[in-house]
Structure 1
Amino acid sequence: MSAHVPSEDVGAPRAQAGPNPQHLLATLLGEYLDSSEANLPSAAVVAMLREFGISESSARAALSRLTRRGLIAVRGSGRPPVYHLTSQAIARHRARMDHFLGFGARPPRWTGDWVTVSFSIPQSGQAPRHAVRKALGALGFARLYDSVWIRPGSDAGPATKALHEIMDGVDGGRWSVMHTRFDAEAGPHGPAAAYDLAGLASAYDGFIARYADLRAAVRDGQVDATRALVARTSVMDSWRRFPDIDPNLPEHLLPAPWPRQAARELMLEIHSALGTLAEARLVQVTTPYWPDAASWITHFRASETFVSAPARRDG
């Protein structure tokens, strides 16, 4: 039994192993640009991605794909084209950054409520069975038993909607959505059995081990602006998967010691310490192609108790 499969962002590129240009460009725009009024030349995008070893052709292809997805748009009809973030992208970036940087800041408010889904599909219904499992995983459910899926909380609306869309019309298919509580919530037959908590703890430990040397270098002042941009982006790119794979269970269901807080503190320290340097490097590499870069490029800031959107510059 395993934790849920993380969902893909609507309109966002699919994350892949290695420096995927689409994913990387979306990350950079989300971290360092927070206005739909900024006119972004394509040459500046090429310069951004060059820092990460992305070729010009791949950078322009990523730009084109994000345009087709509606995250950025062409402004006017001039040549070469000038791009801008869409209002939809700005709202999405802010929400996602708040989600990434705020995750784990506070223990969840726990009521003991779980949403439980049970379904039955005839043996011939492989396609709808796969679709149900995929939809439930995307909604944060985990498989407790073969056809019994659970998630913390009490909001059953999204699951009910998804099951109607998939199961209505499936001959012989049945399903139920229930609000449940467990008599022995913390026991071996309780809901924690649905999650691979050992695997998740190992992932957090791996994150800490991977970036421990970088944190030491940051504390010693050994990270310059050139290294800061790539390092900070790598840390965020690695951290951002945890809010999607960690079900954020209450403390009494977690094995002790639980490494999430240590991992979050490491992420915040590096992310905060390198923000100004990374911003400066991005301004430096884009200004030759985008003279107004310093008026628009900024960065997200976070603390243990709150997340703030980038400060707008007077440009």
Structure 2
Amino acid sequence: MSVHVRPDDVGAPRAQVGPNPQHLLTTLLGEYLDSSDADLPSAAVVAILREFGISESSARAALSRLTKRGLIAVRGTGQPPVYHLTPQAIARHRSRMDHFLSFGARPPRWTGDWVTVSFSIPQSGQAPRHAVRKALGSLGFARLYDSVWIRPGSDSGPVTKALHDILDDVDGGRWSVMHTRFDEEAGPHGPAAAYDLAGLASAYEAFIAQYSDLRVALRNGEIDVTRALVARTSVMDSWRKFPDIDPNLPEHLLPAPWPRQAARDLLLEIHSALGSFAETRLIQIATPYWPDAASWITHFHASDDSVAVPAHGHG
């Protein structure tokens, strides 16, 4: 069974598993290493990425780029180089894994509060208008009307700062940040109209369709260690966009039936069941180049309270 890996728009760099070695390496390091003390030989990285069809030159280029971004660092001055994850990268990976695996575990606490942004920019201000829209999108806002954007919740600090940074020096630029409630929240003129919920539901349904056969194969015992690493990486990489594109609206604003729970159940079953297999495969690949790989390679899983934790400690 072939496992296609879809594009992901989470994190930097934005890319998809397979064709983009830098993104793939970031995903693998985030899933399977959880200590900045681990020495990671470059030859082991080359071997790991080869499992995904990545050439040696591309693997080494990915290592160079992640070093420049500060996610990994070179240990010592020996040749060939030995790398390690930075403490900052470890903290970020833990936070992101928790974000990915806990998303959708429980309904949001709903107060009815929304942050609303309205802005006006002169017709000549195409660049600042684009910058404002990009900033609003990155902060989870959706466009309700032409220059009226909303997001659920009450935290307005980040958007206020972003608008100051972009528009304070723009002649004729005006903006307001407001805390609002909707009189007809669940009606056709309410906030749900700002979101492409039909498109989001279709994305969840496509995820379910894409990986249902993998779940069947898993339940039938047809996924062995050699296939587990690529399969598990694929399903996580396809899922990880959802926590950032799904606004996590309360149930009364969502069309029924809403497919997120079915998609999440599918993710967790595959991700949990293949964790040990994928870890074993990674150790098999890395050990010829990294003799103590088994002491450092681990895997994340969703615990009973839906918080992502390392599966075991390090030796």
Give the TM-score normalised by the residue count of structure 1.
0.96
C-alpha offsets along residues 238-287 of structure 1, whole Å, 9 cap, x if unaligned? 00000111000000000000000000000000000000000000000000
Structure 1 residue 13: Cα displacement: 1.8
Structure 1 residue 313: Cα displacement: 3.4
Instruction: Check whether the contact 2:10–2:244 (CA below 8 A) recurs between aligned residues.
Output: no
Q: Separation in 1 of the partners of 2:297 and 2:17?
A: 27
Matches within 5 A, 1:223-302: 223-302=223-302
1:108 counterpart residue number:
108
Instruction: Check whether the contact 2:102–2:308 (CA below 8 A) recurs between aligned residues.
Output: no
Instruction: Check whether the contact 1:268–1:303 (CA below 8 A) recurs between aligned residues.
Output: no
Q: In the alignment, does 2:198 pair up with 1:198?
A: yes
Distance 1:228 1:25, change over 3 A: same
C-alpha offsets along residues 127-175 of structure 1, whole Å, 9 cap, x if unaligned? 0000000000000000000000000000000000000000001111100
C-alpha offsets along residues 45-64 of structure 1, whole Å, 9 cap, x if unaligned? 00110100000000000011
Distance 1:146 1:293, change over 3 A: same
1:77 counterpart residue number:
77
1:130 counterpart residue number:
130
Q: Separation in 2 of the partners of 1:122 and 1:36?
A: 49
Q: Separation in 2 of the partners of 1:279 and 1:181?
A: 48
Secondary structure at the aligned position of 1:48 is classed as helix
Q: Separation in 1 of the partners of 2:267 and 2:35?
A: 25
Secondary structure at the aligned position of 1:309 is classed as strand
Q: Separation in 1 of the partners of 2:10 and 2:290?
A: 32
1:39 counterpart residue number:
39
C-alpha offsets along residues 58-79 of structure 1, whole Å, 9 cap, x if unaligned? 0000011000000000011111
Tell me the amino acid that sits aligned with residue 93 of structure 1: H
C-alpha offsets along residues 97-152 of structure 1, whole Å, 9 cap, x if unaligned? 00000000000000000000000000000000000000000000000000000000
2:5 counterpart residue number:
none
Q: Separation in 1 of the partners of 2:267 and 2:14?
A: 23
Instruction: Check whether the contact 2:303–2:309 (CA below 8 A) recurs between aligned residues.
Output: no
Secondary structure at the aligned position of 2:310 is classed as coil
2:52 counterpart residue number:
52
Structure 1 residue 297: Cα displacement: 0.2
After superposition, the CA RMSD in angstroms is: 1.3
Identity of aligned residues (%): 84
Structure 1 residue 305: Cα displacement: 3.0
Instruction: Check whether the contact 2:13–2:23 (CA below 8 A) recurs between aligned residues.
Output: yes
Q: Separation in 1 of the partners of 2:9 and 2:54?
A: 26
Tell me the amino acid that sits aligned with residue 22 of structure 1: Q
Q: Separation in 2 of the partners of 1:133 and 1:292?
A: 48
Q: How many residues align?
A: 308
Q: Separation in 2 of the partners of 1:144 and 1:308?
A: 34
Secondary structure at the aligned position of 2:112 is classed as coil
Tell me the amino acid that sits aligned with residue 283 of structure 2: V
Structure 1 residue 307: Cα displacement: 1.9
Q: In the alignment, does 2:21 pair up with 1:21?
A: yes
Q: Separation in 2 of the partners of 1:228 and 1:7?
A: 24
C-alpha offsets along residues 29-56 of structure 1, whole Å, 9 cap, x if unaligned? 0000000000000000001101000000
Structure 1 residue 306: Cα displacement: 1.9
Q: Separation in 1 of the partners of 2:293 and 2:111?
A: 48
Q: Separation in 1 of the partners of 2:304 and 2:254?
A: 21
Spell out structure 1 runs of 4+ moving beyond 6 A: none
C-alpha offsets along residues 184-235 of structure 1, whole Å, 9 cap, x if unaligned? 0000000000000000000000000000000001111110011000000000
Tell me the amino acid that sits aligned with residue 186 of structure 2: A
Q: Separation in 2 of the partners of 1:7 and 1:58?
A: 21
Instruction: Check whether the contact 1:287–1:293 (CA below 8 A) recurs between aligned residues.
Output: yes
2:139 counterpart residue number:
139
Instruction: Check whether the contact 1:300–1:310 (CA below 8 A) recurs between aligned residues.
Output: yes
Q: Separation in 1 of the partners of 2:54 and 2:101?
A: 26
Instruction: Check whether the contact 1:283–1:297 (CA below 8 A) recurs between aligned residues.
Output: yes
Distance 1:77 1:18, change over 3 A: closer
Q: Separation in 1 of the partners of 2:105 and 2:249?
A: 13
